[in-house]
Structure 1
């Protein structure tokens, strides 16, 4: 009899413990809620926040973070709220949902390369990321980490072109330009330089047969563009290399100036142009302001950082998540969007006394280069692009 009573008591104790564990784990809406709310929002030696002192950020997906009620552009987190890389199948649109990178030679994958590729699978989520290599490809721990993190990453070996139409390509820049034009003409998709950080889904641009953006210097930038397979505009860009050496034999002309000229003179070639959302601001035009100033990136699809033009500040581009989380700049905001899915500054629990909002963001202004303006001013299609401001100006 005593043995039976012991068994019954043991079973009742198990039921009670299971019930308690359930209410501890799923405390929302229970009488224990205020206890666990205090534990969650307390920090070392500080008074716990009350329910009215914090608000949830609708764009914040992490349960480990809160945005204080008086905060405009910072959050407080128990731990860094890393996004999870993901891929998807999305066949809607003229442009295949495939992202292309090109890497010629070897070399170590740097932190800003890592952030670029991470941003694609956290903020856009492509069907595939094709990494075209001519040589050994990237080296280093960050490259191995990307291979592990990105489920749809495929490495494709190819031979970078050395000639086109029988003419020798002078430098690595022209070789990579021709390679990206040829690959996207054949396969279609989204091309990105490895110093472009994607801030949100590129799907709205995939409905156009071809898309480029102004670079703010001399026309368009081919550091990021989208193309449907067999794009007529892209085919004409490749045809232009038949005149190699007859005109400016520089990558800048064929990759940037000529696309802009074609968009004005060949209305039969379909192209969609983004004025500021793809390449402004960028580290070529705004230079150091990418890392010491903060621009309004709310309408941007991406940020093109050009680290080679910012050698004075190259150390910033090697920062990891723990440093970049509180760096108030355009680059910092873009990197946080890649790591955490938010442009807000990120402070950890216990750093409330250090928490601050970001400084006011600058509007993005497009200024056409004088030489381009002079070459276009006699064209009937020319629009005065001396100063074109976005809606935030």
Structure 2
């Protein structure tokens, strides 16, 4: 009898243990689900967070980051949420999904160059990144790091033009302009200056035969073009009158493309008025290092270090400093590193965490040299017109 009782008790104990194990594994589907969710997002040694402390933000691309419920523009992370560079094969669109950079001479690759190229493969993800070099090319540890990080980076040697239509190109800026127009005309793709930070995918612009941004005064540092673009052909033809017109790079690289876009409606071109080259320190008269503009609609930010010489030290900051730098440049650099414009604080810095200062709208400002053309067009009547002297 005692033996039978022992067997029955043993069987009952086994049934109880099996039932308990089954219910423990199903806790995530019960009222204990939030406990497991908090444990997953809490760092080791930290107390579990409650649901009321965390906002469900689908934009966060890192499992080790949260956006507190009272936060508008900052996140708290266990570690810095670096994006992973990636390439893809996307043949949709008139413009090939190939990014071109041009580097004439040698020189050390600086941090802002690194951030620019990193942003292309984190926020746009091209099929290829072609780095055209005339000379030794970039030098330094950051260049070696990019070679290691970007799987689709290809180095192409070329001879930068010194003449066009028998006329000498006066400086490196004109040589670069002609080189980029020629390369895009032959191959098509996306040209970027090495101080342009890409903030999101450029795919919506690849459906147009040619796309440029309005710069206001200087710095057309990005173009998208299908091969054999009629607009690029017209730009190149303009160099036939190199010495009959202004010989400066400003005219051929900035003023003439803008003027053609306004006066030659037969040429297929799409212009992004503010999303590619604004804010622009040449126009806004306020450095992107101390300002805070609304970049939510921007495809990119052209940072123009030459226009920010007073703040050049900021452009050498790495991710650990830029993560809490509240400015237009800081937001763009964070988009490159982390995929978010929000400030990034680490666990333990909650008492220091703060939102970004209010962002300013980007106001369209017309260039004085083409002001009359714009004033005569209905779509430009509402522009804020300023006379802006330039050398």
Count the aligned residue pairs.
Answer: 391
Residues 105-152 of structure 1, C-alpha deviation per residue, up to 9 Å, x if partnerless?
A: 111111110000000001000000000000000011110110011000
Pick which of 192-201 and 285-294 moved more. 285-294
Alpha-carbon distance between aligned partners in 2 of 1:87 and 1:15, rounded to the nearest angstrom: 54
Pick which of 361-370 and 286-295 moved more. 286-295
Which residue of 2 is the match for residue 65 of structure 1? 65
The CA deviation at 1:39 is 4.9
Q: Is the 8 A contact 2:367 2:385 kept in 1?
A: no
The CA deviation at 1:40 is 5.3
The change in CA–CA distance for 1:46 and 1:265 in structure 2 (over 3 A counts) is: same
Pick which of 31-40 and 366-375 moved more. 31-40
Pick which of 342-351 and 370-379 moved more. 370-379
The change in CA–CA distance for 1:29 and 1:327 in structure 2 (over 3 A counts) is: farther
Q: Could you state the TM-score of these two structures normalised by the residue count of structure 2?
A: 0.88
Alpha-carbon distance between aligned partners in 2 of 1:263 and 1:184, rounded to the nearest angstrom: 18
The CA deviation at 1:263 is 1.6
The change in CA–CA distance for 1:39 and 1:159 in structure 2 (over 3 A counts) is: same
Pick which of 240-249 and 30-39 moved more. 30-39
Q: Is the 8 A contact 1:74 1:356 kept in 2?
A: yes
The CA deviation at 1:57 is 1.5
Matched, 1:236 2:234: yes
Pick which of 21-30 and 141-150 moved more. 21-30
Q: Is the 8 A contact 1:199 1:300 kept in 2?
A: yes
Residues 218-268 of structure 1, C-alpha deviation per residue, up to 9 Å, x if partnerless?
A: 69xx31010000000000000000000111001010111111121222221
The CA deviation at 1:25 is 12
Q: Gaps spanning 5+ residues in structure 1: where?
A: none
The change in CA–CA distance for 1:136 and 1:392 in structure 2 (over 3 A counts) is: closer
Q: Is the 8 A contact 1:288 1:313 kept in 2?
A: no
Alpha-carbon distance between aligned partners in 1 of 2:8 and 2:386, rounded to the nearest angstrom: 80
The change in CA–CA distance for 1:377 and 1:296 in structure 2 (over 3 A counts) is: closer
Q: Is the 8 A contact 1:365 1:389 kept in 2?
A: no
Residues 326-354 of structure 1, C-alpha deviation per residue, up to 9 Å, x if partnerless?
A: 11110011111111111111110111111
Q: Gaps spanning 5+ residues in structure 2: where?
A: none
The CA deviation at 1:8 is 21
Alpha-carbon distance between aligned partners in 2 of 1:301 and 1:213, rounded to the nearest angstrom: 10
The change in CA–CA distance for 1:8 and 1:143 in structure 2 (over 3 A counts) is: farther
Q: Is the 8 A contact 2:117 2:194 kept in 1?
A: yes
The CA deviation at 1:166 is 0.2
Which residue of 2 is the match for residue 33 of structure 1? 33
Q: Is the 8 A contact 2:101 2:192 kept in 1?
A: yes
Cα root mean square deviation, aligned: 5.1
Q: Is the 8 A contact 1:368 1:387 kept in 2?
A: yes
Counterparts of 1:54-203 in structure 2 under 5 Å? 54-203=54-203
Q: Is the 8 A contact 1:265 1:381 kept in 2?
A: no
Alpha-carbon distance between aligned partners in 1 of 2:61 and 2:92, rounded to the nearest angstrom: 26
Residues 37-95 of structure 1, C-alpha deviation per residue, up to 9 Å, x if partnerless?
A: 55556579976431221012111111000111111111110111111111011111110
Residues 309-342 of structure 1, C-alpha deviation per residue, up to 9 Å, x if partnerless?
A: 1011011111111111111110011111111111
Q: Is the 8 A contact 2:104 2:160 kept in 1?
A: yes
The change in CA–CA distance for 1:66 and 1:28 in structure 2 (over 3 A counts) is: farther
Pick which of 45-54 and 88-97 moved more. 45-54
Q: Is the 8 A contact 2:367 2:387 kept in 1?
A: no
Pick which of 23-32 and 192-201 moved more. 23-32
The CA deviation at 1:21 is 13
The CA deviation at 1:371 is 3.0
The change in CA–CA distance for 1:66 and 1:133 in structure 2 (over 3 A counts) is: same
The CA deviation at 1:283 is 3.4
Q: Is the 8 A contact 1:114 1:146 kept in 2?
A: yes
Which residue of 2 is the match for residue 375 of structure 1? 373
Q: Could you say which structure has the larger radius of gyration?
A: 2
Alpha-carbon distance between aligned partners in 2 of 1:387 and 1:74, rounded to the nearest angstrom: 36
The change in CA–CA distance for 1:44 and 1:283 in structure 2 (over 3 A counts) is: farther
